[in-house]
Chain A
Amino acid sequence: METSATEQSRAYRGQSRQKRVNVGPGERKASMAGGAALALSGLWSIGRRNYLSGLAMIASGGMLLYRGQTGHCGMYEAMGVDTVHTQGSGLRIEKVVTIGLPPHQVYEFWRHLDNLPRFMKHLESVQVTGERTSHWKAVGPGGLSTEWDAEMMEDTPGQQISWHSVGSADIPNKGTVEFKEAPGNRGTEVRVSIDYYPPGGTAGRAAMKIAHGLNAQQLEEDLKRLKQILEVGEETTARRTA
Chain B
Amino acid sequence: MRAVCWHGKQDVRVDTVPDPEIVQKGDVIVKVALTCICGSDLHLYNGYVPTMKKGDILGHEFVGEIVAACPGVTHFRVGDRVIVPFPISCGACWYCKHELWSLCDNTNPNSWMMEHIYGDTGGGIFGYSHLYGGYAGGQAEYVRVPFADVGLEKIPDGIPYEQVVLLTDIMPTGYQAAVYCNINPGDTVAVWGCGPVGLLAMKSAKLLGAERVIGIDRFPDRLQMAHSQCQAEVLNYEEVDVAEQLQNMTGGRGPDSCIDAVGLEARGTGIEDVYDLVKQTLRLETDRASALRQLVRACRKGGTLSISGVYSGFIDKFPMGAIFAKGLTVRGGQAHVHKYLPHLVKLVAEQQIDPSSIITHRMSLEDAPAGYRTFLKKQDSCIKIALTPEHAAPKTEPASP
Chain A residues in the interface with B (C-beta under 8 A): 1-2, 5-6, 9, 13-14, 98, 100, 186-187, 217, 220-221, 224, 227-228, 231-242
> Is the pair B136, A240 in contact by a Cβ cutoff of 8 Å?
yes
Q: Please, which residue of chain A has its CB at the minimum distance from the CB of B105?
A: A227
Q: Could you tell me the distance between the alpha carbons of A2 and B133 in the complex, rounded to whole angstroms?
A: 16
Shortest Cβ gap from B105 to chain A (Å)? 7
Chain B positions 305-319 with a Cβ under 8 Å from a chain A Cβ: none
Greatest chain A CB density within 10 A among B109, B119, B136 is at B109
CB-nearest residue of chain B to A186: B94
B25 contacts A by Cβ under 8 Å: yes
B334-387 interface with A by 8 A CB criterion: none
CA distance A233 to B133 in the complex (A): 18
- Hey, which bits of chain B sit against chain A, CB under 8 A? 18-25, 50-51, 90, 92-94, 97, 105-113, 115-117, 119, 124, 133-136, 144, 146, 401
Q: How far is the CA of A239 from the CA of B203 in the complex (A)?
A: 38
User: Which of A14, A98, A100 has the most chain B CB atoms inside 10 A of its CB?
Assistant: A100
CA A240 – CA B144 in complex, angstroms? 6
Q: CB-nearest residue of chain B relative to A16?
A: B116
20 more A-B residue pairs beyond the given contacts A224-B111, A241-B21, with a C-beta to C-beta distance below 8 A: A1-B50, A5-B116, A6-B112, A13-B119, A14-B119, A220-B112, A224-B112, A227-B93, A232-B106, A233-B25, A236-B90, A236-B106, A236-B108, A236-B146, A238-B134, A239-B23, A240-B144, A241-B20, A242-B22, A242-B401
* B18 proximity list for chain A (CB < 8 A): 240-241
Q: B109 and A237: CB pair below 8 A? A: yes
- On chain B, the residues within 8 Å of A236 by CB distance are 24, 90, 106-109, 124, 146
In-complex Cβ contact of A2 among B24, B90, B116, B146 (8 A): B116
Partner of A1, one of B24, B105, B107, B113: B113
> Could you list 30 examples of A-B contacts with CB < 8 Å?
A6-B112, A6-B116, A9-B116, A98-B94, A100-B94, A217-B112, A224-B112, A227-B105, A228-B106, A231-B92, A231-B93, A231-B105, A232-B90, A232-B92, A232-B93, A232-B106, A233-B25, A236-B90, A237-B109, A238-B110, A238-B133, A238-B134, A238-B135, A238-B136, A239-B23, A240-B18, A240-B20, A240-B144, A241-B21, A242-B22
C-alpha spacing A235/B111, complex, angstroms: 13
Chain A residues contacting B94 (CB-CB under 8 Å) are: 98, 100, 186-187
Residues of chain B with a CB closer than 8 A to A187's CB: 94
Asked if B112 and A221 make an inter-chain contact with CB atoms under 8 angstroms apart, the answer reads yes
Residues on B with C-beta less than 8 A from A235 are 109
A240 to B124 CA separation, bound complex (whole angstroms): 14
Cβ of B136: which chain A residues have Cβ within 8 Å of it? 238, 240
A33 vs B113: C-alpha distance in the bound complex, in angstroms? 41
Please report the C-alpha to C-alpha distance between residue A45 and residue B20 in the assembled complex, in whole angstroms.
70
Q: Which residues of B contact A228 (CB under 8 A)?
A: 90, 106
Please name the 4 residue pairs, one residue from A and one from B, whose CB atoms are nearest each other, closest first: A238-B134, A240-B20, A231-B92, A238-B135
B21 surroundings in chain A (CB, below 8 A): 240-242
The CA-CA distance from A227 to B108 in the complex, in Å, is 12
A186–B94 Cα gap in the complex (Å)? Answer: 7
Chain A residue contacts of B25, Cβ below 8 A: 233-234
Q: Are A241 and B50 in contact (CB under 8 A)?
A: no
Contacts of A14 in B (CB 8 A): 119
A1 to B109, alpha carbons, bound, how many Å? 16
Shortest C-beta distance, A203 to chain B (Å), equals 27
When chains A and B are docked, how far (Å) is the Cα of A67 from the Cα of B378?
Answer: 56
CB-CB under 8 A from A13, the residues of chain B are 116, 119
Complex CA gap A182/B157 in Å reads 45
**Which residues in B have their C-beta under 8 angstroms from that of A240?**
18, 20-21, 23, 136, 144
CB distance from A226 to the nearest CB of B (A): 11
Which residues from A are CB-within-8-Å of B24? 234, 236-237
Q: Are B23 and A2 in contact, CB atoms less than 8 angstroms apart?
A: no
CA–CA, A227 and B92, complex, Å: 10
B90 touches A100 (CB 8 A): no
> Within 8 Å CB of B135, what residues of A?
238
Which residues on the A side are within 8 Å of B115 (C-beta)? 220
The answer to whether B20 and A231 have CB atoms under 8 Å apart is no
Inter-chain contacts of A5 with B (CB < 8 A): 116
| A221, B136: Cα distance in complex, Å | 22
Q: What's the Cα separation between A187 and B23 when bound, in Å?
A: 29
Which residue from chain B places its CB closest to the CB of A13 in the assembled complex? B119
Q: Cα distance A240–B115 when bound, in Å?
A: 24
Residues of chain A lying within 8 A (CB to CB) of residue B113: 1-2
B106→A231 contact, CB < 8 A: yes
Instruction: Judge whether A2 and B117 touch: CB under 8 Å.
Output: yes
Q: Which residues of A contact B112 (CB under 8 A)?
A: 6, 9, 217, 220-221, 224
Nearest CB of A to B84, in Å = 15
The smallest C-beta distance from B54 to any residue of chain A, in angstroms, reads 15
Which chain B residue shows the least CB distance to A229?
B106
Contact of B23 among A6, A227, A232, A237 (CB under 8 A): A237
Once the chains are docked, how many angstroms separate the CA of A232 from the CA of B18? 27
Compute how far the CA of A228 lies from the CA of B109 in the bound complex, rounded to whole angstroms: 10
> Which residue of the partner chain A has the closest CB to B72?
A233
Q: How far is the CB of B76 from chain A (nearest CB, A)?
A: 18
- Bound CA–CA A74/B99 (angstroms): 44
B108 contact set on A, CB distance < 8 A: 236
Interchain CA distance A237-B135 in the complex, whole Å: 8
Residues of A within 8 A of B20 (CB): 240-241
